Amino acid sequence: MHIEKQVSNLDLVCLEEIRLSITPELLVKAVEEFRSQAGKGARQKNHRLIRIKSGLFIKEGHVDHLATVCLRILKTGADPEEVVAAKKRIVDLCGRKLWRFRGESIDVVGYALMNKDVELLLQKYEIVPGFVYDLKLLSPVKSAISQPRGNPSIRVVDKIKEPEATHIAELTVGTTIYLLSRHAFEEFVADARRSRTIKARYKNPGTQSSYLLAFHDKFKRATPVKRENNVLQIIRHGFEDAKYLWVNGWVFVIKDRVIKTCYEKGEMAGLYKKDQRK
């Protein structure tokens, strides 16, 4: 009985050592190795590395495999108890919470590994466009737009650090900071994908960050215009007198420094005229 208890305690110590040996850095290495074993075709797509803005998204169904890969890297055995300990460690590193990641061609449930050291290790990979949702709240908790480099006039809001923010980015024009709503940005991207002027000027931007740069470039050059039926618009939209800006066929609607929406209208005729107010 005493010998069996000693062996049991020794096993617990070994399992704890294994658990503590699995660091965020080791987990990233395991994900890379797991990805390299994928081969080609549909299997490769299923094993793709999902980099998000502040780290790594791990599919729930991949945790078992990653636990085994971690143990192989550590050159330990792969007994059932060791695999369970490794799985628990992976889930612990990810905050023990399941999220849902949705992109243009991906919709998966899994864990988010968010760590500054992990961010550095993943710099060689492109951020996968998409959003991370709370499974319980079913609302976006993180922006998939990465901070554009070399443009201090744009600041992307980090939804993890600023969960109360209702906008996705701050755009500085002159001395004024405008708040870009998600709706306005999504409307811009939807129209921009079909716009000849956007494709001609910005060489068909494909990433969220490049669309954000294109948005800012247009917005900062826009000038005030006034709607001919302004009174009717005020009545329809809750008596809120919005401000309109126009540039090269694009109209931006602003209320209290928040960019509410935008759309491509074409030539400034009919509904709009130059606003003489300063």
Same domain, 48 and 114: yes
Task: Say which residue, 229 or 96, is predicted with more confidence.
Answer: 96
The confidence score (pLDDT) of residue 229 equals 57
CA 229/CA 205 separation, integer angstroms: 34
Task: Say which residue, 112 or 274, is predicted with more confidence.
Answer: 112
88, 108, 142 - which closes a domain: 142
Average pLDDT on 155-177 reads 83
Closest residue by Cα to residue 176 from 240, 212, 219: 219
CA 172/CA 162 separation, integer angstroms: 19
Same domain, 123 and 168: no
The confidence score (pLDDT) of residue 139 equals 46
142, 174, 202 - which closes a domain: 142
Res 1 pLDDT > 50? no
Same domain, 132 and 169: no
Q: Measuring CA to CA, how many Å separate 45 from each of 35, 49, 59, 101?
A: 9, 9, 12, 15
| Number of domains composing the chain | 2
For residue 153, name the pLDDT band (cuts at 50, 70, 90).
very high
CA 8/CA 4 separation, integer angstroms: 6
In the chain, the percentage of residues whose pLDDT exceeds 70 is: 72
CA 80/CA 15 separation, integer angstroms: 11
CA 122 to chain centre: 14
Res 11 pLDDT > 50? yes
Same domain, 138 and 162: no
Closest residue by Cα to residue 145 from 121, 169, 122, 123: 169
Res 92 pLDDT > 50? yes
CA 109/CA 102 separation, integer angstroms: 9
Average pLDDT on 26-47 reads 72
Same domain, 238 and 113: no
CA 238/CA 178 separation, integer angstroms: 22
Same domain, 44 and 116: yes
Asked if residue 235 belongs to a domain, the reply is yes
What is the domain range of residue 267?
154-274
Phi-psi region of 220 (alpha: psi -120 to 50; beta: other; left: phi over 0): alpha
Same domain, 158 and 117: no
Asked if residue 149 belongs to a domain, the reply is no
Q: Burial code of 11-37, b = ≥16 C-beta within 10 A, e = fewer?
A: eeebbeebeeebebebbbebbeebeee
111, 142, 173 - which closes a domain: 142
Closest residue by Cα to residue 103 from 195, 207, 180: 207
Same domain, 137 and 187: no
Asked if residue 148 belongs to a domain, the reply is no
Average pLDDT, the chain: 77
Structure tokens at 175: 């001395």
For every residue of the chain, DSSP letters joined together read -HHHHHHHHHHHHHHHHHHHH--HHHHHHHHHHHHHTS-STHHHHHT--EEETTEEEEEGGGHHHHHHHHHHHTT----HHHHHHHHHHHHHHTTT-EEEEEESS-EEEEEEEE-HHHHHHTTTSPPPSEEEEETTT-SEEE--PPPPTT-TTEEE--TTT-TT---SEEEEETTEEEEEPHHHHHHHHHHHTT-HHHHHHHS---SHHHHHHHHHHHHHT-EEEEETTHHHHHHHTTT---EEEEETTEEEEEETTEEEEEEE--SS-SSEEE----
